[in-house]
Amino acid sequence: MRIALGLSYNGQAYQGWQSQSTGLTVQDKLEKALGQFTAQRVSTLCAGRTDTGVHALMQVVHFDTDRERDTHAWIRGTNACLPRDIAVQWALNTPEAFHCRACATSRRYAYVLLESPVRPSVETGRVGWSFRPLDQAAMQQAAGYLLGEHDFTSFRASQCQALSPVKTMLAINLHKRGAYWRIEFEANAFLHHMIRNIMGCLIQIGQGKKPPEWMQTVLTARDRKAAAPTFSPDGLYFLGPRYDARWGIPERTPAYDGLP
């Protein structure tokens, strides 16, 4: 049978999602826990890979197994074998046709940023930081240039393995509550470091170092050197993919609404 899991994790201690020889990735920890729970080797696929230090509120994974467990057992049993900073939020039996990556219609991320003259302390590793005030109107105007289908080469990491730099940005929304910003992105797919590179540009615009129109100049340049340096991974959260309703996959976990 095919099982889908919704996974949340704090990425500070891990070298991203994808399995590595060090064993210090989220995929390695999850597959080890599933192996302990099922007493068999389990291989997982995820909806969207995350980099070193990046967090997830609803990473969706699937795997095939001949072990029969009810959904609550998959949650409790797997969590009992996982580190405290990784937790299964839900489990579903799905049809074999479901594929967590191929069936996703879009993916969502949020970047949480602290605007303060003093660096983060208790939130270190969980929020980005701007020590200068930010202009929300200028940032929202700049974000508008990125909406729609574009070649995002200027925001693509050199090691990106995507077959095409052309992606469709569906939404970018900025919210501020107190000293905290929450900037949400939704696209059909993202390139390696794409959001962190966009964030670098948004911060420069928000701090008044560049005008909002500069974002369009960077986009049309199709040259990574035209953009700002890659921003910190600390405040980046994978909110999860969206799917057609027929699959019955949740759109969010309780942690989604608790994020600043």
Q: Which sequence spans correspond to the domains of the chain?
A: 2-103, 106-238
Task: Name every residue whose Cβ is closer than 8 Å to that of residue 209 and which is 6 or more positions away in sequence.
Answer: none
- Render 146-181 in DSSP notation, one character per residue: T-EEEE-GGG--TT---S-SEEEEEEEEEEEETTEE
Q: Is 51 a catalytic residue?
A: yes
Domains 2-103 and 106-238 share a fold: yes
CATH 3.30.70.580 assigned to 2-103: yes
pLDDT in tens, 139-162: 999 999 999 999 999 999 988 888
CATH 3.30.70.660 assigned to 106-238: yes
Cβ neighbours of 36 (radius 10 Å): 14
Rounded to whole angstroms, the Cα distance separating 62 from 164 reads 25
Cβ neighbours of 49 (radius 10 Å): 18
Cβ neighbours of 240 (radius 10 Å): 28
Report in angstroms the alpha-carbon separations of 17 from 23, 56, 194, 230, 235.
11, 10, 17, 19, 16
pLDDT in tens, 160-173: 888 999 999 999 99
pTM score > 0.85 for this model?
A: yes
* Per-residue confidence (pLDDT) for residue 255, from 0 to 100: 72
Q: Which of 28, 51, 66, 223 is catalytic?
A: 51
